[in-house]
Amino acid sequence: MASTVSRSDSGRITAANGTISIEPNPRRIRAYFAGEVIVDTTDAVYLFEDGHLPAYYIPWTDVRSKFLVPSDTSTVCPRKGVAEYRTIAVGDARSVDALWTYPEPLADSVDLSDYVSFYWDRVDSWFEEDEQVFVHARDPYVRVDVLPSSRHIEVYIGDVLVADTHRPKVVFETGLPPRYYIPRLDVKDWLFTDSSTTTSCPYKGTASYVSVPDGPSDVAWFYPQTTPAASGIENHLSFYVDRGARVVVDGVVFTS
């Protein structure tokens, strides 16, 4: 028999197939498209699936159905069942097959028939409480810790010392090696040019990049502004060791 989650449940429920689990998400989740609120809920669940990022599953009752139109699209997931899709329609704006549901649960899965999930980039924005979330749903089991340090960090491009500090910020992020962020005052900024590249991280914010003229491109990144979780690394540079930078930490070459 399939399992289901109710509002009285407080812990994780794992499917009999062992590859999927769900647990309540008490945060207020909102999604916007074409100036309209499409989702507003405090009763979402996280869905964890082997090999995939966490996803929000939203109660049907907290989705504004007046903005949804049927779709002929369907897909089959061997872990969750047959998915049926809906398109978001707000005035002339359309987001085709933006969301899906599993109306008939598999016997060895979890019952998701009361929930719907969205392609992240087929709405305009997502919020947890009043903070915008980028790229994908944040994993509640990922931590980002920004710690001041007195380690001696040197960075070389070729044989040229381009940064030297005893006051880095070290970012410890679950599942990743430590990253050393160097104050801009301790970087020879005149050796770099700004890049047009940007990337977004759901845990830290939107990063900008710098390159070396006639040298490595996008060799370092920085966050002009950060999320509250990553506060303290604003306008500190961190360098890629696999793009031509040699980072030395307390006299030892950093290789990750």
Total Cβ atoms within 10 A of residue 148: 9
Place of tokens 């940007």: 198
Per-residue pLDDT of 30-71, as tens digits, reads 999 999 999 999 999 999 999 999 999 999 999 999 999 999
**The predicted structure's pLDDT at residue 2:** 53
**pLDDT for the residue numbered 5:** 46
Cα–Cα distances (Å) from 93 to 36, 85, 154, 252, 255, in that order, read 11, 17, 51, 55, 48
- Is the pLDDT at 9 greater than 60? The verdict is no
Q: How many CA atoms lie within 13 A of 229 on its CB side?
A: 18
Cα gap 171→137, rounded to integer Å: 20
- Domains contained in the chain, number: 2
pLDDT digit string, tens, across residues 189-227: 999 999 999 999 999 999 999 999 999 999 999 999 999
C-beta neighbour count of 54 within 10 angstroms: 17
Neighbours of 30 (CB within 10 A): 18
Instruction: Give the C-alpha separation, 223 to 206, whole Å.
Output: 6
The letter for the amino acid at 28 is R
Give the pLDDT score at 10: 57
In sequence order, the 6+-apart residues with CB closer than 8 A to the CB of 199 are 206, 207, 209, 221
Mean pLDDT over 70-76 rounds to: 97
CA-based nearest residue to 11, from 21, 205, 218, 146: 21
Same domain, 81 and 52: yes
Q: How far apart are CA 151 and CA 169, in angstroms?
A: 9
Domain stops at, among 89, 108, 133? 133
What is the sign, positive or negative, of the torsion defined by CA atoms of 66, 67, 73, 77?
negative
Range of the domain at 188: 144-254
Residue 59: the pLDDT is 98
Residues 22, 66, single domain; the answer is yes
Percent of the chain with pLDDT over 90: 95
DSSP secondary structure code for residue 234 in this structure: B
| Whole-structure pTM value | 0.86
pLDDT confidence of residue 11: 84
The last residue of a domain, from among 114, 133, 152: 133
pLDDT of residue 256: 86
44 and 98 part of one domain: yes
* Residue 119 and residue 169 share a domain: no
pLDDT tens digits for 78-98? 999 999 999 999 999 999 999
